[in-house]
Structure 1
Amino acid sequence: MEQQKLPNSTLILVFGILSILTCCCYGVLGLIFAIIALVMAKKATALYVEAPEQYTGFNNVKTGRILAIIGLILNLIYLGYVIWLFATLGMEGIMEMNQDIMEQYGGKLFLLP
C-alpha cells in the first residue's frame, strides 16, 4: 500500500512557526496560531496512531506541535505583560513612555552606523 502524507502536516509546522514569530502582536495573534496548530496536531496524531504505516510527515506534526507549545507559552507571557502594563500605567502612561523613547532616540527606531 502506498503511503500518503498526513493531512495538514506542513500547515501545522507553519502555524507553529507563525505562533512564535507573532508573539509580539500583543500576544493575541500568536495565541490563535498556536491553538489552531495544537488542535490540528492532535487530530493528525490520532490519525497517525490508528495506522502509522499509511502516513508520512509525522515529523512535521511533532515539530509543529513543539513550536506551537513554545509559541503558546511566549504569547501567554507577553499577553500577561501587556495586561499588566495597561493595569498599572493605563493608556496615557504607555503613550507617555513611547513618547519618551521616541525623544530619546530622536524618532529613529533603528540606529545605523
Structure 2
Amino acid sequence: MEQQKLPNATLILVFGIISIVTCCCYGVIGLIFGIIGLILANKATNLYALNPDQYEGYNNVKLGKTLSIIGIVLNILVVVFFVWIVSIIGWDALQNEDLMRERLEDYLGNME
C-alpha cells in the first residue's frame, strides 16, 4: 500500500514559521497563525495516530507544531510587553513624541 502525505503537513510547517517571523507585528498576526498551526497539527497528529503506516510527512507536522508553540509563546510575550508599555507611557504619549520622551524621563528618573 502506498503512503499518502498527511493533510496540511506543509501548511502546518509554514504556519509555524510565519508565527515566529510575525511576532514583531504587535503579536496579533503571529498569534493567529500559531494557534491555527497548532490546531491543524493536533488534527494531523490524531489522524496519524490512527494509522501510522498509511501516512508520511509526520516530521513536518511535529516540527510545525513545535514552531507554532514557540511562536505562540513569543507572540504572547510581545502582547504583554506592548500592554506594559501602554500602561506605563499611555496611549496618548504614543501619538506625541515630546510627551513620550517626558513620560519616559519621569519613569526612568523614578527608577534611580
TM-score range, shorter chain: 0.7 to 0.9
Q: Does 1:72 align with 2:72?
A: yes
Provide TM-score, normalisation by structure 1: 0.83
Measure, in 2, the Cα distance between the counterparts of 1:79 and 1:2: 45
User: Which residues of structure 1 form unaligned runs of 5+?
Assistant: 102-113
Asked whether the equivalents of residues 85 and 94 of structure 1 are also in contact (C-alpha less than 8 Å), the reply is: no
Gaps of 5+ in 2: 102-112
The normalised TM-score by structure 2 is: 0.84
CA contact (8 A) 2:31 2:76 kept: yes
Which string of whole-angstrom CA distances, capped at 9 and with x for unpartnered residues, describes residues 4-63 of structure 1? Answer: 000000000000000000001111000000000000000000000000000000000000
- Structure whose residues are more often helix by fraction: 2
What is the aligned partner in structure 1 of residue 109 from structure 2? none
| Native 8 Å contact 2:89 2:100 kept in 1 | no
Counterpart Cα distance in 1 of 2:99 and 2:57:
49
Q: Which residue in the other structure is 1:23 paired with?
A: 23
* Structure 1 position 96, deviation (Å): 4.1
Between the aligned partners of 2:7 and 2:15, the Cα distance in structure 1 is 14
What does residue range 87-98 of structure 1 map to in structure 2 within 5 Å?
87-96=87-96
Contact kept, 8 Å, 2:93 with 2:99, in 1: the verdict is no
Corresponding position: 1:38 with 2:38:
yes
Distance of 1:34 and 1:98 partners within structure 2: 37
**Residue number in structure 2 paired with 1:106:** none
Instruction: Report the counterpart of residue 51 of structure 1 in structure 2.
Output: 51
Q: CA deviation at 1:86?
A: 1.1
**Structure 1 vs Structure 2 CA RMSD:** 1.9
**Number of residue pairs the alignment of both structures matches:** 101
| Equivalent residue, structure 1, for 2:105 | none
Q: Distance in 1 between matches of 2:3 and 2:38?
A: 24
Separation in 2, partners of 1:35, 1:55:
24
CA distance in 2, matches of 1:52, 1:98: 61
Partner AA of 1:16 in structure 2: G
